[in-house]
Chain A
Amino acid sequence: MALKIVKGSIDRMFDKNLQDLVRGIRNHKDDEAKYISTCIDEIKQELKQDNIAVKANAVCKLTYLQMLGYDVSWAAFNIVEVMSSSKFTYKRIGYLAASQCFHEGTDVIMLTTNQIRKDLSSPNQYDTGVALTGLSCFVTPDLARDLANDIMTLMSHTKPYIRKKAVLIMYKVFLKYPESLRPAFPRLKEKLEDPDPGVQSAAVNVICELARRNPKNYLSLAPLFFKLMTSSTNNWVLIKIIKLFGALTPLEPRLGKKLIEPLTNLIHSTSAMSLLYECVNTVIAVLISLSSGMPNHSASIQLCVQKLRILIEDSDQNLKYLGLLAMSKILKTHPKSVQSHKDLILQCLDDKDESIRLRALDLLYGMVSKKNLMEIVKKLMLHVDKAEGTTYRDELLTKIIDICSQSNFQYITNFEWYISILVELTRLEGTRHGHLIASQMLDVAIRVKAIRGFAVAQMATLLDNAHLLTGNTQRNGICEVLYAAAWICGEFSEHLEDPMQTLEAMLRPKVATLPGHIQAVYVQNAAKLFATVLRKHDGETESQAAQETSQLLIDRLPLFVQSANLEVQERASCILQLVKYIQKLQQKNVEVAEEVTALFAGELNPVAPKAQKKVPIPEGLDLDAWINEPPSESESEDEKPKAVFAKEEPKHSRSRHTEVDEKELARRREVRKQEQANNPFYIKASPSSQKVYDAPGVEHIPVVQIDLSVPLKVPGMPMSDQYLKLEVERRQKEKAERKKKEKKKKREKRGKERKADSGPESEEDITPAHQVDIVTEEMPENALPSDDDDKDPNDPHKALDIDLDKYVPYCRHLQFIHVLHIVYDIQGNHQDESKVVVSVIFENKSDSFLKSMEFNVLDSLNSKLQRPEGAGAHDSLTVPFQLPPGQDTHAFLFVSSVSVSIVAVCIDCFLMQSDESSTHEKLDFKLHFTCTSYLITTPCYSDAYAKLLESGDLKGSSLRLEGINMPFHHLLARICFHHHFSVVERIDSCASMYSRSIQGHHVCLLVKTTVSIDAKCDEPSLLGNVLDEIKQTFSKC
């Protein structure tokens, strides 16, 4: 035996360890994959050995390979083996590997529950620590459910190292098993005042994470945090608390008012930039929440903006970045105070750091007003020209559009200017945002009626110069613009000066190189233009022009009829036939214009994107109800419903076929031949006419490549800069006029009381250049306003939205009206199994100070209060704290006990009314010790469980639960959690569960999905009580 061990360890010395593996990989740079695959083979051999040291070494190497991207999940079982080693060295290796590669889908995880429970209660704190660390990475809902109680116990461990870890991991447990939040919360709250700063910090951390998602449930903790904030010196904790306040203030403005002062003090006093920054951030959050009610905080705003300016001007890029970030938050509510730093922010656009430039851009978005929009956009356009790299330039482009279009074009006073900006943007090289520009053009043209004339003229020029946009294949992102241009020209063609020219431009052969969906729009809108042209020449007798137009279409459309794109082809052939028909009518001098325009009559209104969703469901309409009676199941399989149609269909078609007689067919054939002969593009079967394009050699035509690296000024297009000048002049003029008027008024008012000067020009004074009517998007009638459109129903944090102040169903409550509110919870004591721990929370509900409370417990045969040594059997227990009004505190009592009982408790307490007078009150109450309080979650293996059942010592009883409709695993989870059971085995529709009382009585349950519970126990009275309580738990839900 000894020889075997020695042999094993010698073997091990020849194995590669992690260092050898790394060295080997570095020496095999050329054939790394091959080398690693031989290593993996070796590892597989090592894992087969019995020696745990060899296994641990192999697992350690696997962890390294996992980092390099190798899937090592095949070794999951071996990892579990190493985890369960009794030696810390190996255990640590095992847990590390598990934390790197286990996840919810790993099936061996369920084998680890008992091992982890054992490690958690290990006497060695580092075994516990390693288990907690590992568990924090791979905790699953099952593990969370089974181990929640154990971890909760660890939160009051004697070693701060363990407490700290146990507190932190609770957050992960809450996420996976939300039901544990309520019972664990009192203890978590207590840890906020732990003597160890690390534990305190961990508790703050967890509560901040919880509160971030559901802040309203944690408002009641605000006073406690406030105390911490003013007392703590740990910057890390302070930052967390201050961040938390930032999340709480929007819900409680009174809190904000209280916060301002200590926060400003901190801002002035701290030297830590991180703390300063978070303070500023929270002050901003406070000010935002107060913005409606409290106007007198301009000093705080000024302080924040000042501090941020210092940050932005700092040479440290990090501070600059954060300064801009915080600035953007102020901007939302106090734009004026930020706008005065416009110079600084525009300066940041020149920064070499892209992150900073993007932040500055974000800020500009909020800084625009009617007054400065044109100026800011002009600056941005300059940056667009200078910008290197398409990503940044694209970002600029989207920002320009965002800035201009924000809140329904609120800041645009001159839409002609905006259209020309859009047109200028089309000249950007290689942008991917063609569709964005296009949608803006469409949006503006549709919704701003006054601008249509101008827009159409611009679009017509764009179409005319389409070759500039499409000339270079790299720039094809931009040709999306033509989509918008064509549609606008077609739809609003009545504004076109020369529709004929535009029509001509839209039917150029070059158009056929555009993407299909654009061609389709071209074709459709060519038809609209055609209608307009006809109308223009309406009334002229023997209109030459109208007929020429028809001819133009008939000549050009066949090009599109041949298109490979179905949409284009279909539209083109349809329209071609239409035009041919119209031409016939024209030749007969029939008036057609009226009828053709009728084809495109009517206006399209913009529809809000969410309109469809908002259509209210009419009353009485039940979308889930069957429209017809559902077919019964037996029928559906035997008969195929499709057959009903299949039988009838052939009959119809056959009868139709017979209607067409031979003569008709021959005629049609003749017509088709004729048509094909006339069609120059129809490739005929005979080889002689196969070459279509052979006449003048195409290759001799000189093709000039146009170099478009320099942004071109498209002839005839106005530059947006002109508008800026015009606008400035216009405003000056208006201002002058207004002054004149005011002077007049003043002269009239002379004699009456003097009015104060109106001061600088305000926003409202700027009148738009055009009277603009922005059509709002249509919404269905009765649409309900709702904000929940964007909420994600799958957010895991939603489950944690638990109101912690309300009735806690799993702890027991006692309330003495107006005086004291008591919550208590009873649990078996893991350290000393003959005792149970009663934790009690007192909350002072009265207005007065509660001083010196005493517990009087009447010991019974079954239960005894654990008193300090030396105290007599009837002495009372003094509660070691005083309660100011509105506060709550915890106390623990240890009760050693034998069996189920009710303990009578009496509290003597003195109520201090004022400094002198005090009253004395005696409150009697009873603590109900349920029998599950005496049960301790104990793991049990299935073989031991089977033996136990076979032994015959247990007596049985059973229970049926009625009206339970929850998933089976929820049911199990509830039993585990509330009654301290653990699942031994689960097979399909039933599960066996086990627990043990502190006196060592076994309780076994067999739970079936039919919600019947068979129970066995060696103590019949305990059994009956447990079943009663289980029944009670489920009757509550």
Chain B
Amino acid sequence: MIKAILIFNNHGKPRLIRFYQYFAEDMQQQIIRETFHLVSKRDDNVCNFLEGGSLIGGSDYKLIYRHYATLYFVFCVDSSESELGILDLIQVFVETLDKCFENVCELDLIFHMDKVHYILQEVVMGGMVLETNMNEIVAQVELQNRMEKSEVRTFLNSFL
């Protein structure tokens, strides 16, 4: 199971947070801070696994992260997930973002947090991996976007 997915930038500013277990808002912020603190002091050439912080998880949990340019993608998972599998999954997620936003950058995530959530929802559901095939994910996201567009069009048409 995945317990949480956090995306924050090099300064620890959250860009997307997705907890699959309930934490109150202040606790969530504390977890983000702690995770950022743990992850940010690591060089880029060390391993991508971290035995969990004190706030989130415990001995059974691991932080698995990747660092892309200005953003950290951190997954907190338990021992039923394969470490290398999750690393691949992060890669799939980022490549999907890249495809959906056409050359994704931090600004896309900043201004379209909702869209990023919708994409993530097609990858992970309730803490379990839903789909790992990028084409399938992109197809579902696009179908939903198309539906949204058609609804907006009918909404506007009703005034004309």
Contact = CB atoms under 8 A, between A and B. Distances in A.
A352 B130 contact: no
Given A89-B148, A274-B88, A278-B82, A18 B111 contact: yes
B50 interface: yes
A88 interface: yes
A880 B83 CA distance: 42
B130 A355 contact: no
Contact of A103 (B22, B47, B125): B22
B40 to A, nearest CB: 14
Contacts of B126: 133, 136-137, 139, 168-169, 171-172
B64 to A, nearest CB: 9
Nearest to A133: B121
B23 to A, nearest CB: 9
Interface in A83-101: 87-89, 92-93, 96, 100
Contact of B80 (A23, A172, A243, A320): A243
Contacts of B106: none
Contacts of B147: 88, 126
Nearest to A353: B46
Contacts of A322: 49, 83-84
Contacts of B98: none
A165 B110 contact: no
Interface string A981-995: 000000000000000
Interface in B136-160: 136, 140, 143-144, 147-148, 151-152, 155, 159
Residue among B24, B126, B129, B159 with the most chain A CB within 10 A? B126
Contact of B47 (A53, A172, A355): A355
Contacts of B104: none
Contacts of B117: 63, 96
B84 A277 contact: yes
Contacts of A60: 114
A317 B83 contact: no
Given A63-B113, A318-B48, A277 B128 contact: no
Interface in B16-43: 16-18, 20, 22, 24-26, 28-29, 43
Given A208-B80, A209-B128, A278-B82, A69 B46 contact: no
Interface residues of A, number: 68
Given A133-B121, A356-B47, A63 B114 contact: yes
A471 interface: no
B54 interface: no
Given A133-B125, A168-B130, A68 B143 contact: no
A172 B28 CA distance: 22
A104 B114 contact: no
Nearest to B48: A318
A336 B104 CA distance: 51
B47 A239 contact: no
A88 B49 contact: no
A239 B49 contact: no
A530 interface: no
Residue among B83, B84, B147, B151 with the most chain A CB within 10 A? B84
A318 B130 CA distance: 25
Contacts of A354: 46
Given A92-B118, A353-B47, A69 B25 contact: yes
A321 B111 contact: no
A19 interface: yes
Residue among B25, B110, B144 with the most chain A CB within 10 A? B25
Nearest to A138: B22
Given A6-B159, A96-B118, A356-B47, A22 B111 contact: yes
B45 interface: yes
A100 B113 CA distance: 12
Contact of B143 (A126, A168, A273): A126
Interface stretch (A198-206, A260-268, A396-404): A198-206
A470 B50 CA distance: 36
Given A69-B26, A236-B85, A273-B84, A168 B113 contact: no
A563 interface: no
A136 B125 contact: yes
Contacts of A18: 111, 113-114
B125 A19 contact: no
A273 to B, nearest CB: 6
A318 B118 CA distance: 30
A317 B45 contact: yes
Contacts of B130: 164-165, 168, 198, 202
Given A104-B22, A126-B143, A355 B50 contact: yes
B9 interface: no
A9 B85 contact: no
A5 B158 CA distance: 10
A5 B24 CA distance: 38
B85 A274 contact: yes
Contacts of B113: 18, 22, 63-64, 67
Interface string B42-60: 0101111111000000000
A44 interface: no
B47 A321 contact: yes
Contact of A274 (B22, B25, B49, B82): B82
A236 B114 contact: no
B46 A352 contact: yes
Contacts of A355: 46-47, 49-51
Contacts of B125: 132-133, 136, 165, 168-169
Nearest to B140: A161
A69 B32 CA distance: 10
A212 interface: yes
Contacts of B46: 317, 352-356
A66 B114 contact: no
Contacts of A136: 125-127
Given A136-B125, A274-B84, A71 B159 contact: no
A70 interface: yes
B95 interface: no
Interface in A1-53: 5-6, 9, 18-19, 22-23, 26, 53
B1 interface: yes
Nearest to A103: B22
Contacts of A206: 128
B118 A69 contact: no
A87 B151 contact: yes
A318 B84 contact: yes
A5 B156 CA distance: 12
Given A18-B114, A63-B114, A209 B1 contact: yes
A139 B22 CA distance: 11
A551 B83 CA distance: 69
Interface string A805-817: 0000000000000
Contacts of B45: 317, 352
B107 to A, nearest CB: 10
Interface in A184-211: 198, 201-202, 205-206, 208-209
A318 B47 contact: yes
B94 interface: no
23 contacts: A23-B111, A63-B113, A63-B114, A64-B113, A69-B29, A70-B25, A92-B118, A92-B144, A96-B118, A168-B128, A169-B125, A172-B126, A202-B130, A206-B128, A209-B128, A236-B85, A236-B129, A239-B85, A273-B84, A317-B45, A322-B84, A355-B46, A355-B49
Closest 9 CB pairs of A and B: A136-B126, A274-B84, A317-B47, A103-B22, A353-B46, A69-B29, A321-B47, A89-B148, A239-B82
Interface of B: 1, 14, 16-18, 20, 22, 24-26, 28-29, 43, 45-51, 80, 82-85, 87-88, 110-114, 117-118, 121, 125-133, 136, 140, 143-144, 147-148, 151-152, 155, 159
Given A274-B83, A322-B49, 20 more contacts: A18-B111, A18-B113, A22-B111, A26-B110, A70-B25, A87-B151, A88-B151, A93-B114, A96-B114, A96-B121, A100-B18, A126-B144, A136-B126, A168-B128, A169-B125, A171-B126, A320-B47, A321-B49, A352-B43, A355-B47
